[in-house]
Amino acid sequence: MEAANCGAVRTPILLPPIISLSWLMESSADWKFAAEQFVKVLPDKVFVHCSERNVSKLTLDGVDVMGERLAEEVIEVIRRKPNLRKISFVAHSVGGLVARYAIGRLYRPPERENLEDSSSNRSEEDSKGTIGGLEAMNFITSATPHLGSRGHKQVPFLFGVPAIEKLANFVIHLIFKRTGRHLFMNDDDEGKPPLLKRMIEDYGDCYFMSALRAFRHRVAYSNVGYDHIVGWRTSCIRRNSDLPKWEDTLNEKYPHVVYEEHCKAYDDEQCEPTSIKDGGSDKLEVLHCAEELVTGLSRVSWDKVDVSFHSCRQKFAAHSVIQVKDQSMHIEGADVIQHMIDHFLT
């Protein structure tokens, strides 16, 4: 669904299209409110396209298959809009992982002449590469399980009970098929590492981290609680020890934004994984996986925005409220969408 279906849209040159994605078993309509707000606030600066390739049961096909579909869809949008020069992604839940896969496929390394140009006038953008030939601007995720769903309290509706969490690891594929295997990192494609591990580096012909690094602005929005689908730690890309202490905000404009942090990119020495010694073999494996993912994703800078709907009437639907999936039911998350728009680079 293009934003034009939601209201008047102008598409002048040098404007970023926003490719919006949703989560498992959802549709492009779930981004209707956010798409309308972007167009309303930035009418002359954005063209919004809500992805339609991965909806309903198609979301069970695996992060990589969905990512390939999205990459193809983005290319089609770019061809239809030849005046576009910049691109941004706004994604919810598993859609954030799909977007990360897609940009790895869409990444184009910088032109060789730019790399060899030693002149001081060479811009930083020239050395970053592009996404589908467009300048990469904003990469925004909302309640996305960047560290997967395996591990203690990564999926809150399992109640943090180790036995249930361990059982889920063995049966999740029966419910969520191939996507479930990717989320629980028990996929084994021809002896390759789990997909989420591959996605923290440039792997084969997929430039996952180069693509992520190409964006000028990366943001991770996370629910600090009451999100029963995606835990706080996995959506904010932090270790347990790094989770901040938050308090109710006094900000009238963004009443549900309770903590903001700019995390600089780690250098190679800082990116050495933290040593983990406590726990049984299965627990150690899970912790090592999470540590690898945190370490890998920390090689790029992130703005982390923590959100709380604990005082809202729909707090138990926080996973949907943060996106304003349904305007009539989840409108309390409108300030989070406004925060995205106000900090959006054009």
Neighbours of 243 (CB within 10 A): 15
Tokens of 243: 């989770």
The pLDDT value given to residue 338: 98
- CATH 3.40.50 for the 11-110+127-152+195-343 domain, yes or no: yes
Residue 159: enclosing H or E segment and its boundaries? none
Q: Which residues contact 2 (CB under 8 A, 6 or more apart)?
A: 9, 47, 48, 49, 50
pTM confidence score:
0.85
Write b or e for each residue in 258-273: b if 16 or more Cβ atoms lie within 10 A of its Cβ, otherwise e.
Answer: bbbeebeebeeeeeee
The pLDDT value given to residue 180: 87
Q: Domains of the chain: which residue ranges?
A: 11-110+127-152+195-343
Alpha carbon distance 24, 262 (integer Å): 29
| Pairing state between β 17-21 and 47-50 | parallel
Tokens of 118: 């030693």
Q: Which residues contact 263 (CB under 8 A, 6 or more apart)?
A: 298, 301, 302, 303, 304
> Is the separation of the CB atoms in 35 and 48 below 8 Å?
yes
The pLDDT value given to residue 196: 96
Among the listed residues 255, 250, 241, the one whose alpha carbon sits nearest the alpha carbon of residue 310? 255
Q: Per-residue confidence of the chain (346 residues) as pLDDT tens digits?
A: 333 334 333 333 345 677 666 545 556 788 999 999 999 999 989 999 999 888 878 888 999 999 999 999 999 999 999 999 999 999 999 999 999 999 999 999 997 655 555 444 544 455 689 999 999 999 999 999 999 987 655 554 454 556 555 555 555 555 667 898 899 888 877 788 999 999 999 999 999 999 999 999 999 999 999 998 899 999 999 998 999 999 887 789 999 999 999 999 987 555 555 554 455 445 555 567 889 999 999 999 999 999 999 999 999 999 999 999 999 999 999 999 999 999 999 9
> Is the separation of the CB atoms in 214 and 130 below 8 Å?
yes
The pLDDT value given to residue 228: 86
Helices (H), the chain: 32-41, 63-80, 94-106, 112-116, 162-183, 195-198, 208-214, 232-236, 281-297, 318-321, 327-330, 334-342
Start-to-end CA distance of the chain, whole Å, equals 21
